[in-house]
């Protein structure tokens, strides 16, 4: 039993140390590849670009679509989590709940499935990046590793794929259409959305103005 406890203790210390090293490293160094990319049978097309070269409309669009409280929460939207728990208790399908910080932690350090085990690791990495990276770096990494299409990662590669131009000059509608597709990038069309998806993109485009008006992206540009 003592050997088992010692092994578990060493494993825990090793994991904590490695996770700290990786988070510190990626605070300054572009993330080279993720588990999601490696497991993608469609190949990998990506082009890391700094946040200063990504149009602010794109930042505002993902805040409008994914996480309106990005600048005010500590990595977790407790209200959204409570709603998800209540919905799950009723047997309904859980919708959302994850913040951009949580999605970034998952995308960079973990895998896409795994249930509560992965969620536990995700929470740990979310705390670390909130404390060590800060909001600007979290947004920069998120916009560079998020899947934006089949075999396509990051908004720069997505922008060039769909609009034939750099992410530095996206219009509110173009940014909104990319943001609308982020939850299901292999299934949702960016360039020619129809029906509900087109309306959803238009709604996000309108919310981009709200994000700008209310300064909901201010923490990123301080």
What pLDDT shows up at residue 89?
Answer: 65
Pairwise CA distance, residues 165 & 158, whole Å: 9
Position 189 scores a pLDDT of: 93
Per-residue tens of pLDDT for the chain, all 222 residues: 888 889 999 999 999 999 999 999 999 999 999 999 999 999 999 999 999 999 999 999 999 999 999 999 999 998 877 777 776 666 655 555 799 999 999 999 998 877 888 999 999 999 999 999 999 999 999 999 999 999 999 999 999 999 999 999 999 999 999 999 999 999 999 999 999 999 999 999 999 999 999 999 999 998
pLDDT at position 81: 76
Cα–Cα distance, 222 to 27 (Å, whole number)? 18
Specify whether the CB–CB gap between 122 and 110 falls below 8 A. yes
Q: Which residues does 172 contact at the CB level (< 8 Å), separation at least 6?
A: 57, 60, 61, 205, 208, 209
């Amino acid at each position: 039993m003592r050997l088992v406890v010692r092994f578990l203790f060493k494993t825990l210390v090793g994991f904590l140390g490695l996770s700290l090293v990786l988070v510190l490293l990626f605070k300054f160094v572009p993330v080279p590849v993720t588990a999601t990319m490696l497991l993608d049978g469609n190949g990998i097309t990506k082009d890391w670009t700094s946040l200063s070269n990504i149009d602010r409309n794109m930042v505002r669009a993902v805040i409008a679509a994914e996480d309106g409280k990005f600048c005010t929460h500590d990595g977790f939207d407790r209200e959204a989590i409570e709603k998800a728990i209540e919905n799950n208790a009723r047997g309904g399908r859980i919708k959302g709940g994850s913040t951009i910080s949580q999605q970034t932690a998952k995308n960079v350090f973990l895998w896409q499935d795994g249930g509560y085990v992965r969620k536990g690791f995700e929470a740990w990495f979310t705390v670390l990046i909130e404390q060590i990276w800060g909001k600007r770096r979290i947004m920069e990494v998120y916009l560079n590793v998020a899947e934006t299409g089949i075999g396509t990662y990051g908004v720069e590669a997505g922008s060039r794929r769909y609009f034939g131009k750099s992410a530095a000059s996206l219009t509110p509608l173009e940014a909104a259409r990319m943001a609308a597709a982020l939850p299901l990038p292999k299934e949702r069309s960016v360039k020619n959305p129809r029906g509900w998806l087109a309306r959803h993109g238009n709604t996000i485009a309108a919310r981009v103005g709200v994000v700008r008006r209310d300064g909901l992206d201010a923490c990123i540009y301080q």
